[in-house]
Amino acid sequence: MKHLLVVLICITTLGKVSYGQISDKEIVFESEDYDFGTVNFGKQKINATFIFTNNSSIDFKIREVKASCGCTVPSWPENPIKPGQKGVITATFDPSNLAGEVDKSIEIFANYSGMMSKIIRIKGIIKEPVSQDMSKIYPGQFGYIRQSKNTIALGDILTSKTYSKTVIFMNDYNLPLSFTGVLRKPDYVTYELSKTVIPPGDTASVKIIVHGDLVNNYGLINDDIVFKTTDKSYALKAVKLAFFMREDFSVLSKKERKNAPSLMVSKTEFDFGEMKEGAVSTQEFTMKNSGKTPLKIYRVITHCGCTTIDLEETEIAPGESKTVKIKFDSIFVSGQAQKEVTLYTNDPENHEVVLYVTATVKEY
């Protein structure tokens, strides 16, 4: 059973105004995928460019662009793109300590109609390091068992699929070193060791497998798997996992999709106006399930402790409406603020819904 989880992450950005909505077909990208081909391990940063044209009759405003991992840093136009004009989204990808196939997603939040966001991608292949280069990987790490990467960024993961990445470990000691088990790992992860004993100067590969159907959460997931070894100077070897978990609705039959829940939100933008620092204000909105089966709210993420949402029940029956309160507490906030609340649901058309909260906080 999926459980509701509320995660608080503080951010403060510039305020915004409302814009008309544009079909994603009217924002035409020259390419939605940036393929950097095949590069050697340890290559310098890669700069990806995505050029698009606003073919609509109204301004196109990008609210935010999010990358699937910290190795990718996006930038986008602050000002609206006028009708007929071109715009550019850039992303700097740092491949340091990464190897193998790369597929990084970049999510664009803008004034789209019919959808909350659009995905563009950076793709390519980074050659695995040769064994004689392994001693150069993570030269400052503790211990004698070195590893080719300490973080696996998997991008988007769907509930119906299985994903895997390989980490190479090298014994930089003059005696054999061994894997002796796992200190901890998520239930959705399995792994395959090429060998448990690593001779001096030799390597072992560990295939880490993520089973999407066993991940009991949605949105950004950060986790790790920690191996135990006989490396006396630093026995624990951790590999961090980072990915975005999403429901795979492509597996639904036509009948299941026709009978799916359908979320209708009365508003997605909440302007609390001018507030004194420390003041608290509340607004209401309506969530209605216009579909034929129960609507489930899997997860709610409020991006700041100053913004909370009153959602006691996480299931809405077909035809049922619920009034939900969203509260903004301006304590420890000053100036122009924009916050977000993200809902993950079982509606195929509105799996991820973002609510935008803005306010102007004045000091006493």
Convert the pLDDT of each residue in 99-115 to its tens digit: 778 888 999 999 988 77
**Pair 153, 71: CB distance under 8 Å:** yes
| Residues 96, 184 within the same domain | no
**Pair 262, 318: CB distance under 8 Å:** no
Give Cα separations from 312 to 11, 191, 309, 323, 342 (angstroms): 25, 38, 9, 11, 16
Domain presence at residue 5: no
| Residues 241, 138 within the same domain | yes
Domain presence at residue 14: no
User: How large is the average pLDDT for residues 65-70?
Assistant: 84
Strands (E), 55-188: 62-67, 72-75, 86-93, 100-110, 117-126, 145-147, 151-158, 162-171, 177-184
Report the CATH number at residue 303. Answer: 2.60.40.10
Specify the higher pLDDT residue, 16 or 312.
312
The pLDDT of residue 336 is above 90: no
Q: What is the per-residue pLDDT for 317?
A: 96
| Residues 237, 282 within the same domain | no
User: How large is the average pLDDT for residues 289-294?
Assistant: 96
First to last CA, the chain: 47
DSSP H or E segment with residue 345: strand 335-345
Domain presence at residue 13: no
On whether the pTM is more than 0.75, the answer is no
**Pair 170, 135: CB distance under 8 Å:** yes
Kindly report, residue by residue over 193-232, the tens digit of the pLDDT: 999 999 998 899 999 999 999 999 998 899 999 999 999 8
In this prediction, residue 332 has a pLDDT band, given cuts at 50, 70 and 90, of confident
Last residue of a domain, one of 91, 126, 161: 126
Kindly report, residue by residue over 248-258, the tens digit of the pLDDT: 999 999 999 99
| Residues 220, 306 within the same domain | no
Q: What is the per-residue pLDDT for 101?
A: 81
Cα R_g (the chain), whole angstroms: 23
For 213, the token pair is 């159907």
The number of distinct structural domains making up the chain is 3
Last residue of a domain, one of 126, 144, 164: 126
Write out the residue range of the structural domain in which residue 150 sits.
131-246
The pLDDT of residue 15 is above 60: no
The pLDDT of residue 121 is above 50: yes
Kindly report, residue by residue over 147-160, the tens digit of the pLDDT: 888 888 888 899 99
| Residues 70, 177 within the same domain | no
| Residues 261, 340 within the same domain | yes
| Residues 82, 65 within the same domain | yes
Domain presence at residue 347: yes
Domain presence at residue 1: no
- Rounded distance, CA 107 to CA 68, Å? 8
| Residues 268, 358 within the same domain | yes
Domain presence at residue 8: no
| Residues 164, 229 within the same domain | yes
Give, in degrees to the nearest 5, the angle at Cα 303 between 300 and 308.
60
Mean pLDDT of the chain: 87
Residue with tokens 């609340």: 341
User: How large is the average pLDDT for residues 61-77?
Assistant: 88
Specify the higher pLDDT residue, 258 or 135.
258
Specify the higher pLDDT residue, 149 or 27.
27
Domain presence at residue 351: yes
In this prediction, residue 141 has a pLDDT band, given cuts at 50, 70 and 90, of low
The pLDDT of residue 13 is above 60: no
| Residues 139, 241 within the same domain | yes
| Residues 149, 63 within the same domain | no
Kindly report, residue by residue over 156-190, the tens digit of the pLDDT: 899 999 999 999 998 988 999 999 999 999 999 99
Domain presence at residue 10: no
| Residues 105, 186 within the same domain | no
Last residue of a domain, one of 84, 111, 126: 126
User: How large is the average pLDDT for residues 75-86?
Assistant: 92
